[in-house]
Amino acid sequence: MLEVKALTKSFLSGSGEKRIILDQLELTVREGESVAIVGPSGSGKTTLLNMLGALDKPESGEILLDSEPVFNKNEKELAEFRNRSIGFVFQLHHLLPQLNLEENVLLPVMAQQKKVNENQQERADMLIKKLGIGSLKGQKPGQLSGGECQRTAVARALINQPKILLADEPTGALDQHSAEQLADLLLQLNKEEQVSLIVVTHSMALAAKMDKIYQLIDGKLKLAAS
Ligand SMILES: Nc1ncnc2c1ncn2[C@@H]1O[C@H](COP(=O)(O)OP(=O)(O)OP(=O)(O)O)[C@@H](O)[C@H]1O
Ligand SMILES: [Mg+2]
């Protein structure tokens, strides 16, 4: 279970003024739950996701994963935590252009060890197949469509069996059909793998598919639908 307690973050504006973006924000996400976070541009959705993924530190407040405080760790432990426990999918896929689809999926494994073991290879094959990109394994990102790149990014995010899958506008750059396809795959994997799914989106169609919808307003999350 993910617990966010009194999370606060502010930035200095150009004129040196302090702007509070997240204000004592609270959130609980159960194992296997799917959650959408919506809100206007600039409301702090990406700022929040970056902290949930331990990419950025809060000013005050806490994030606990299975009762363990995330930010008690040193930099090395944090990097390992991110690699093992968190999967990220961004609006743009961030695949490495010089690696093929399969190598991109296995990249988080290679970050930890020199060789891919049999189980990890099987898991990569399974995810790639489930995501419907099995016939494209050897192709490089430049030879894939936007939707295929996003599906590759989802497989990569799940390769280490994370507890949490964070997605920031994952369908934002896709046409409607590919967006719907990706949304359905995300939810299918969320249920099958019991990975908690937290999706930031401007798409009400995508948000409506999740167990809960929260709106980020004035630095806090407000339950909009469940
Ligand atoms: N590193 C930073 N330094 C200063 N201000 C920042 C920084 N990162 C974000 N901000 C500001 O914090 C606010 C929230 O930004 P954030 O990217 O979280 O918004 P968002 O809700 O994700 O918006 P969008 O829907 O456009 O992606 C914005 O006003 C932004 O300018
Ligand atoms: Mg954003």
Per-residue pLDDT tens for 33-89? 999 999 999 999 999 999 999 999 999 999 999 999 999 999 999 999 999 999 999
The model's pLDDT over 123-146, given as tens digits with 9 standing for 90+, comes to 999 999 999 999 999 999 999 999
Q: Is 9 in the pocket of ligand 1 (CB under 6 A)?
A: no
Q: Please name the residues in contact with 88: beta carbons below 8 A apart, sequence gap of 6 or more.
A: 53, 157, 165, 166, 167, 168
Higher pLDDT, 112 or 42: 42
Q: Which CATH number fits domain 2-225: 3.10.20.30, 3.40.50.300, 1.10.150.120, 3.10.20.90?
A: 3.40.50.300
Is 31 a residue whose pLDDT tops 90? yes
Q: Count CB neighbours of 19 within 10 A.
A: 12
Mutate to test the pocket of ligand 1, among 9, 10, 21, 166 (most ligand atoms within 8 A of CB): 21
The model's pLDDT over 154-172, given as tens digits with 9 standing for 90+, comes to 999 999 999 999 999 999 9
Q: Please name the residues in contact with 15: beta carbons below 8 A apart, sequence gap of 6 or more.
A: none
Residue 92 has a pLDDT of: 86
User: Which is nearest to 189 in space by CA: 89, 112, 113?
Assistant: 89
Contact present, 22 and 32 (Cβ < 8 Å):
no
C-alpha 47 to ligand 1 mean position (Å) = 6
Q: Please name the residues in contact with 34: beta carbons below 8 A apart, sequence gap of 6 or more.
A: 187, 190, 196, 197, 198, 199, 209, 210, 211, 212
Residue 93 has a pLDDT of: 80
Residue whose entry in the numeric block shows the structure tokens 């302090």: 18
Residue 114 has a pLDDT of: 86
DSSP code string of 21-76: EEEEEEEEE-TT-EEEEE--TTSSHHHHHHHHTTSS--SEEEEEETTEEGGGS-HH
The model's pLDDT over 193-226, given as tens digits with 9 standing for 90+, comes to 999 999 999 999 999 999 999 999 999 999 998 8
- Ligand 1 atom closest to the Cα of residue 50 is 18
